[in-house]
């Protein structure tokens, strides 16, 4: 159960999980909203567009959608219902029959201040409804602790399953690589939560000392205009490249030297694992969510921490694009990136560590946990 399959991390996981279930002999149905948006993924299960309208998620409408969904569950003899996104999670819970109800939380709820005005993110509602699911799936220990501590979800209902991340294919698209061998790459939608402004400001300190360094931003989004203005202000027009949306991300990753992430919050950054699968060392701020867990930080990061699987720097939340001087936390990021670009021994160490870590999030291993979860109400399999 998911609003749509147009694109995004949750949609990709839903598609991969359904396809894996079909390979293991199960019937799979996708119950979507009424928008009739065509799937962006190769889906093997049967897609059913329901009457559920994402434009009408009032509490009284939620009860109506749950009643309709209950009818679908009866019609198709559903044994396990897996839902994604809060709206469909609540509909899944409220439409319970004798099916196993599994909800998946895709974000760090307490950190999303932009969501708090909606009743969907009211602490009381979250506590009441998620405690009535059979299992609540989160991607990290951070998210698990959040749901237990902040929202009072019973620990026995919580299950930690990260995203399965398949390695992208190396691609030779006939284009000559034109950005040199000192390339830092960011992958993600250009929106405020990703804090590309921090990446650009930090990179300005790298460019001062390394004339060959380039920063590539893969993605599009509402912050693009403001970010380009910041680049002009800093005089980095020939150093920071906006590539736009790229389908062939693997082509860029196979040439990159460092992967950089500066998000305010990261539930589970697939792009980070994809980069690591290419042996690219990672520099990330210690964002609430998955980065510290993936890179194996030792406690709260203050300063530069050379963790087991990558380099972490102090958390920073910077809403100002260009008015302030470069901050100490941004200077930390620049120092970490610069060292990886220039210290070949350190780069080789973290390149090998990246490949090793990426292998721990393989499809077979992660989907195996999902299958066990769906096959038994008593199963409490947990990621380790």
Q: Maximum Cα–Cα distance for the chain, whole Å?
A: 65
Are 187 and 336 in a shared domain?
yes
Are 251 and 122 in a shared domain?
no
Residue 94 lies in a domain: yes
Residue 175 lies in a domain: no
Cα–Cα dist 327/314, whole Å = 11
Give the model confidence (pLDDT) of 252-270 as tens digits. 999 999 999 999 988 888 8
Residue 195 near residue 318 (C-beta atoms within 8 A): yes
Residue 344 near residue 372 (C-beta atoms within 8 A): no
Q: Quick one: tokens of 206? A: 């790298």
What's residue 7's pLDDT? 65
Q: Phi, psi (5° rounding) for residue 240? A: -110, 120
Max avg pLDDT among 1-5, 33-37, 209-213: 209-213
Are 74 and 208 in a shared domain?
no
Cα–Cα dist 325/68, whole Å = 55
Query: Can you tell me the mean pLDDT for 155-184?
Result: 84
Res 377 pLDDT > 60? no
Residue 73 lies in a domain: yes
Residue 113 lies in a domain: yes
What's the pTM? 0.79
Going by DSSP bridges, is the β-strand pair 305-306/311-313 parallel, antiparallel, or unpaired? antiparallel
CATH of the domain at 272: 3.40.50.2000
Residue 160 lies in a domain: yes
Query: Can you tell me the mean pLDDT for 295-316?
Result: 93
Cα–Cα dist 249/373, whole Å = 32
Residue 383 lies in a domain: no
Are 121 and 207 in a shared domain?
no
Q: Phi, psi (5° rounding) for residue 237? A: -60, -35
Query: Which carries the bigger pLDDT value, residue 230 or residue 169?
Result: 230
Cα–Cα dist 98/259, whole Å = 46
DSSP assignment of 162-179: PPP-PPPPP---SPPP-S
Cα–Cα dist 267/107, whole Å = 5
Q: Quick one: tokens of 321? A: 């694009």
Are 206 and 254 in a shared domain?
yes
Res 113 pLDDT > 90? no
Query: Which carries the bigger pLDDT value, residue 284 or residue 299?
Result: 284
Q: pLDDT band at residue 282, thresholds of 50, 70 and 90?
A: very high
Q: Quick one: tokens of 291? A: 């980065």
Q: How are strands ordered across the β-sheet holding 214-218? A: 240-244, 214-218, 183-187, 258-261, 282-285, 311-313, 305-306
Are 41 and 137 in a shared domain?
yes
Computed on alpha carbons and rounded to an integer, the radius of gyration of the chain in Å comes to 22
Q: Give me the helices (H) in 31-173, please.
A: 59-75, 86-94, 123-130, 141-151
What's residue 36's pLDDT? 77
HEC assignment per residue over 299-313: CCCCCCEECCCCEEE
Exposed, middle or buried by CB within 10 Å (0-12, 13-18, 19+), for 42? exposed
Are 30 and 119 in a shared domain?
yes
What's residue 383's pLDDT? 35
Are 314 and 208 in a shared domain?
yes
Are 137 and 206 in a shared domain?
no
Are 118 and 214 in a shared domain?
no
Cα–Cα dist 311/49, whole Å = 44
Residue 172 lies in a domain: no
Q: Quick one: tokens of 81? A: 């219902």
Are 208 and 98 in a shared domain?
no
Give the model confidence (pLDDT) of 45-79 as tens digits. 999 999 999 999 999 999 999 999 999 999 999 99
Give the model confidence (pLDDT) of 186-207 as tens digits. 998 899 889 999 999 999 999 9
Residue 113 DSSP label: G
Q: pLDDT band at residue 309, thresholds of 50, 70 and 90?
A: very high
Residue 130 near residue 113 (C-beta atoms within 8 A): no
What's residue 108's pLDDT? 78
Cα 351 to chain center, whole Å?
22
Residue 178 lies in a domain: no
Boundaries of domain holding 74: 9-164+362-375
What's residue 320's pLDDT? 56
Are 239 and 110 in a shared domain?
no
Number of folded domains that form the chain = 2
């Amino acid at each position: 159960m998911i609003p749509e399959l147009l694109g995004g991390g949750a949609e990709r996981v839903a598609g991969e999980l359904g396809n894996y279930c079909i390979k293991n002999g199960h019937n799979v149905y996708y119950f979507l909203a009424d928008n009739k948006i065509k799937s962006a993924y190769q889906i093997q299960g049967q897609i059913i567009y329901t009457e559920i309208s994402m434009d009408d998620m009032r509490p009284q409408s939620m009860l109506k959608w749950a009643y309709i969904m209950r009818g679908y569950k009866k019609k198709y003899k559903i044994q396990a219902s897996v839902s994604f996104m809060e709206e469909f999670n609540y509909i899944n819970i409220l439409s319970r029959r004798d099916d196993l109800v599994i909800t998946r939380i895709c974000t760090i709820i307490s950190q999303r201040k932009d969501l708090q005005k909606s009743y969907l993110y009211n602490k009381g509602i979250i506590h009441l409804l998620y405690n009535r699911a059979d299992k609540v799936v989160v991607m990290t220990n951070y998210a698990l602790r959040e749901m237990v501590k902040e929202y009072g979800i019973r620990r026995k209902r919580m299950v930690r399953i990260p995203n399965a991340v398949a390695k992208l294919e190396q691609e030779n698209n006939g284009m000559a690589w034109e950005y040199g061998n000192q390339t830092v790459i960011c992958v993600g939608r250009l929106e405020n939560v990703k804090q590309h402004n921090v990446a650009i400001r930090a990179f300005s300190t790298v460019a001062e000392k390394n004339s060959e360094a380039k920063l590539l931003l893969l993605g599009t989004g509402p912050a693009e205009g403001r970010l380009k203005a910041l680049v002009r202000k800093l005089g980095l027009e020939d150093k920071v490249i906006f590539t736009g949306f790229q389908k062939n991300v693997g082509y860029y990753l196979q040439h990159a030297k460092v992967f950089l992430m500066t998000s305010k919050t990261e539930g589970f950054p697939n792009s980070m694992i994809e980069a690591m699968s290419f042996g690219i060392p990672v520099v990330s701020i210690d964002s609430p969510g998955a980065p510290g867990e993936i890179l194996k930080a030792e406690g709260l990061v203050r300063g530069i921490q050379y963790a087991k699987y990558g380099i972490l720097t102090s958390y920073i939340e910077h809403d100002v694009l260009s008015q302030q001087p470069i901050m100490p936390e941004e200077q930390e990021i620049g120092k970490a990136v610069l060292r990886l670009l220039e210290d070949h021994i350190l780069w080789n160490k973290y390149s090998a560590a990246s490949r090793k870590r990426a292998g721990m999030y393989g499809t077979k291993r992660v989907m195996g946990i999902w299958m066990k979860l769906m096959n038994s109400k008593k199963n409490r399999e947990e990621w380790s």
